[in-house]
Amino acid sequence: MGKACCIGVDIGGTFIKMGLFDEKGVQYALERLPSNALRPPEMLLESLVQACRNLMDARQAHEGRVLAVGLGVAGKLDNQEGRVVFSPNLPNMAGFPLAPLLEKALGIPVFMENDANVFGLGELWAGHGRQVANWIGVTLGTGVGGCLVTNGSLWLGDRLGFVGEIGHVIVDPHGPSCACGQTGCLEAHASGSSLTRGITQAFHEGSPLPSWLCDAIASGSLTPEHVDKAARTGHPRALDLFRRMGWALGLALGNLFTFLGIQTAVIGGGVSQAWDLFFPHLMETLKTTPRMLDPSKIKIHRTSLGPLAPLYGAAHLAWQGLQERAGDST
């Protein structure tokens, strides 16, 4: 008989990524589809239901079952009601009761948590976080998310629906505007959207850009990968955007390290694939910003789970939720 599994889902501003995992963290299937963030939330739900059913059918074909779904969603959440309160990168999801509607459609339990928190759960379950008691997690994607792990457990604060929102720590009050409505947030300097916005601004200012980059901007198909490619071919504006990213990350982490008295961070998310372009600038900033710390003892890890970290975490959230429900019923 096939193993029972849970589905882990990471809903980002660009893609919905999904995976099937058993209780020990063994991965069985993966799926990815566009999140279509600007479409009505009912359409996102419909796509999500169909994708979950596909994974459930695939597990059933191997004589296994899917027991629950774990959702990682960007933004401020009402976990008790399973509702998205506010999400800068999924604006149409505001107020939408995603978890209960998905649970009703699938007929199995659905658990929801902030996407950066499920990244942290994934690292705790199967990544670098297993070996470190205290650390800060950072996810670099369409936006910037964060989490805090203390004594080997995810810090949930006062359960206000948000926690560890490092992306909305202001690193430069006079910096670029952020999707949250503030100015100079880390997310406005160190996210995929900040990279594409920076290159688009250069285009409108008349800065010389490669023709393929101009075509991507003009067609509305520009992605962070285009900016990465431009930096690797030596384009000064693209290189400067990654320099700014590293500086802003170093400043934010240095301040938090100083406040919390810890010295380890784990960084993941799609934009972290440009590691070699921003990491040296991050470490250069960390040599001078947190004066209370010994720079040689600061540890910045790149996720060992790659883009699957939030999927591991969301699946782990589902397994934990099932265990808690079983405990409540005894």
Domain contains 22: yes
pLDDT for residue 321: 94
| Same domain for 194 and 323 | no
Query: What tokens were used for 56?
Result: 């459930």
Query: Which of 162, 161, 138, 152 lies closest to 310 in space, CA to CA?
Result: 138
Q: What's the pLDDT band for 330 if we cut at 50, 70, 90?
A: low
Domain contains 125: no
| Same domain for 236 and 161 | yes
Percentage of the chain modeled with pLDDT above 90? 73
In terms of C-beta density within 10 A (0-12 exposed, 13-18 middle, 19 or more buried), how is residue 160 classed?
A: exposed
- Spatial distance between the Cα atoms of 19 and 26, rounded to a whole number of angstroms: 10
Q: Which residues, including other chains, have CB under 8 Å from residue 305's CB and lie 6 or more apart? A: 122, 123, 126, 127, 268, 312
- E strands of 151-294, at which residues? 153-154, 264-268
Q: Count how many domains the chain has.
A: 2
pLDDT for residue 83: 92
Q: How far is CA 89 from CA 35, 46, 128, 131, in A?
A: 10, 19, 27, 32
Q: Do 72 and 117 contact (CB within 8 A), yes or no? A: yes
| Same domain for 79 and 94 | yes
pLDDT for residue 208: 93
CATH number for the domain that contains residue 65: 3.30.420.40
pLDDT for residue 329: 64
Of 10-14, 67-71, 127-131, the range with the highest mean pLDDT is 67-71
Percentage of the chain modeled with pLDDT above 70? 98
pLDDT for residue 113: 93
Domain contains 126: no
- Spatial distance between the Cα atoms of 71 and 112, rounded to a whole number of angstroms: 5
Q: Which residues, including other chains, have CB under 8 Å from residue 242's CB and lie 6 or more apart? A: 195, 231, 274, 277, 278, 281
The pLDDT of 225-243, averaged and rounded, is 97
pLDDT for residue 1: 47
198: enclosing H helix or E strand:
helix 192-204
Residues of the domain holding 153? 131-303
Q: Do 123 and 148 contact (CB within 8 A), yes or no? A: no
Over residues 247-287, the pLDDT tens digits come to: 999 999 999 999 999 999 999 999 999 999 999 999 999 99
Over residues 132-183, the pLDDT tens digits come to: 999 999 999 888 999 999 999 999 988 887 889 999 999 999 999 998 889 9
Query: What tokens were used for 327?
Result: 């405990």
| Same domain for 146 and 61 | no
If you average pLDDT over every residue of the chain, what do you get?
A: 92
| Same domain for 248 and 200 | yes
- E strands of 248-298, at which residues? 264-268
| Same domain for 221 and 296 | yes
| Same domain for 320 and 287 | no
| Same domain for 59 and 153 | no
pLDDT for residue 184: 94
User: 70 or 2: whose pLDDT is higher?
Assistant: 70
| Same domain for 109 and 10 | yes
The pLDDT of 321-326, averaged and rounded, is 89
The pLDDT of 186-209, averaged and rounded, is 95
The pLDDT of 38-67, averaged and rounded, is 88
| Same domain for 17 and 36 | yes
Domain contains 105: yes
pLDDT for residue 50: 94
pLDDT for residue 63: 74
Query: What tokens were used for 180?
Result: 């949250």
User: 190 or 92: whose pLDDT is higher?
Assistant: 190
